[in-house]
Amino acid sequence: MRKTTEGKCYYCKKVFNKTAIKKHLDSCDERKRLIEKTEKKNANGERCFCVSVEGFYIPAYWLYLDISSLATFRDLDEFLRDIWLECCGHLSAFEIKGIRYSSSPDRLYGEKHMSVDLTKILNVGIQFTYDYDFGTTTRLKLKVISECQRIKSDKKIELMARNLPPEIKCSYCEENAKQVCVECESWLCNKCVETHECDENMLLPVVNSPRVGQCGYTGSEED
């Protein structure tokens, strides 16, 4: 798999590479138009953070999010589970400046709960990590890119941009993989899957997420 992927701006639907899309989000005409509309309606606006998220080990999977300053880590946890991660309700935790904010905090280890105001913690430039599932862990890397004006929305977290599904080749031929075998960790096209010898219960669909092929993850509806 290539290290970077192209992705789509969710405001104007145009496609850019990962570096270009960061700049594009500041200048996207469609987004500007929506912000101007919001400003007219709502003089105070609402503070928000523009946050990039990527697979810690597989940066080809990435998201840019507009997160309301009224959101908590719990909201972000839910968002990430919905779009990328949830398989069987595993535990999760954010780690920022050595402090862990856990879905099930262990006070003995000084962990905190996730219902904490992001404004108290986030600043432009801060990087942090997120782990979903402490067994078969999917680790994400997050970074606060900027503070920006928020477009009026009922959602506390808005998807601004997302990578297009990376092409993954079949481990046995030149076709694109459609499934992944959890037992032997091979990628399989529709043809090679027919003759694959592992138990078919070990097969998972290839989905656009850094959790592809892990535990029982079969993707979200938004894929």
Closer residue to Zn ion (CB): 77 or 121: 77
Q: Smallest distance, Å, CB 117 to Zn ion?
A: 29
Q: Smallest distance, Å, CB 128 to Zn ion?
A: 23
Closer residue to Zn ion (CB): 16 or 56: 16
Residues near Zn ion, by CB under 5 A = 9, 11-12, 28, 87-88, 170, 172-173, 175, 181, 183-184, 189, 192, 198, 215-216
Give the separation between CA 11 and CA 154, rounded to whole angstroms.
Answer: 16
* 3-class DSSP assignment, residue 63: strand
Q: Does the CA dihedral 90-96-98-99 come out positive or negative?
A: negative
Q: Smallest distance, Å, CB 30 to Zn ion?
A: 5
Residues in the chain: 223
**Cβ-based neighbour number of residue 6 at 10 Å:** 15
Closer residue to Zn ion (CB): 52 or 72: 52
Extract the tokens encoding 27: 């200048």
Q: Smallest distance, Å, CB 80 to Zn ion?
A: 14
- Kindly give, in sequence order, each residue whose CB lies less than 8 Å from that of residue 29, ignoring residues fewer than 6 positions away: 12
Closer residue to Zn ion (CB): 118 or 187: 187
Strand partners for 66: 50, 158
| Residue 184: C-alpha distances to residues 34, 79, 141, 166, 188 (Å) | 48, 31, 27, 21, 11
Closer residue to Zn ion (CB): 11 or 73: 11
| Residue 80: C-alpha distances to residues 32, 145, 182 (Å) | 26, 18, 22
Classify strands 99-102 and 112-113 as parallel, antiparallel or unpaired. Answer: parallel
Extract the tokens encoding 67: 């997160």
Closer residue to Zn ion (CB): 76 or 192: 192
Q: Smallest distance, Å, CB 195 to Zn ion?
A: 9
Q: Smallest distance, Å, CB 3 to Zn ion?
A: 23
Q: Smallest distance, Å, CB 175 to Zn ion?
A: 5
Strand partners for 139: 131
Closer residue to Zn ion (CB): 124 or 184: 184
